[in-house]
Amino acid sequence: MTYDAAGTAEGLDADLVVEYHDTLGSSNDRARELAAAGAPETLVVTDEQTAPRGREGRAWVSPSGGVWFSILLWADGDPAATPVTLATAVAVCEGCRQAGVPARIKWPNDVLVGDGDRGGAKLCGVLTETGQTDGDRWLAVGVGLNANVDPDDLPSEADATTLRAERDGEDVDRRRLVQTIVDRFTELRAAPDTVLPAWRTYADTLDRRVRVETPTEVIVGEAVDVEFPGSLLVQTDEGDRRVVTAGDCEHLRPVQ
């Protein structure tokens, strides 16, 4: 089967309309357009993105050969009540593992591979955006996975790797990988109580010293757990246990 709309939809268990594009500026932007039009829940897949972005508007590189997609979802109630971002990271992590790459998750949603005191190289990022159309809440969950991409095509300053590189130059079946990730995400979304246990299974952040920069402060300590809907619990050096709902997390070297 080919990597296009029909090929991706064939064998996909998730009840989603599938759109495929050779090129998009941003799959999340396309999901926003669909939401504004009141479209049904849709999987937007593109071979490349020319204007992608990461969290907080950060630049992201999405050349041809990667797995770049977004899922438009209509939320029942408050979308923040369902840990869709963590569920997406779990689904991506499991998809990478099925492809033979031992991926792990850095809180909240970066998928990494490799060892080291400060964690490994980044394989994937997840961007979740929310909005409202005619009173109905929607979410756009974007996945940027460096699949059949050469590391030389990524910014030299980025601490990133690709599935191709981790598989000794062997490409993955992108169509099957997208199906695996999306179907697993759909399962997790339907059973939100299973998300945090699954996330803990693949967590690279727990039991590490971390530095988390929030909008208002910097918290340093040991990451000890996550709680619904995905907050990080940090035991600080001062003995306080802090609940971090959002922020940039950096893995630190252990105190000698």
Each residue's pLDDT tens digit, 115-154? 654 568 999 999 999 999 998 999 999 999 999 999 888 8
In this structure, the answer to whether residues 64 and 116 fall within a common structural domain is: yes
In this structure, the answer to whether residues 187 and 215 fall within a common structural domain is: no
Write the pLDDT tens digit of every residue in 233-245. 999 989 999 999 9
Q: Is residue 74 part of a domain?
A: yes
Q: Is residue 256 part of a domain?
A: no
Q: Is residue 140 part of a domain?
A: yes
Q: Is residue 53 part of a domain?
A: yes
The mean predicted confidence, pLDDT, of the chain is 91
Residue 218's CATH number: 2.30.30.100
DSSP state of 53: B
User: In this prediction, what percent of the chain has a pLDDT beyond 70?
Assistant: 91
Q: What are phi and psi of 104, to 5 degrees?
A: -135, 170
CA distance to 95, 108, 132, 174, per residue, from 196 (Å): 17, 11, 27, 27
> In the structure, what pLDDT confidence band is assigned to residue 75 with cuts at 50, 70 and 90?
confident
Q: Is the dihedral of CA 165, 96, 104, 89 positive or negative?
A: positive
Residue range(s) defining the domain that contains residue 149: 5-202
Provide the pLDDT for residue 82.
Answer: 66
Residue 40's identity, in one-letter code, is: P
In this structure, the answer to whether residues 64 and 158 fall within a common structural domain is: yes
Residue 192's CATH number: 3.30.930.10
What pTM did the predictor assign?
A: 0.93
In this structure, the answer to whether residues 160 and 221 fall within a common structural domain is: no
- How many domains does the chain divide into? 2
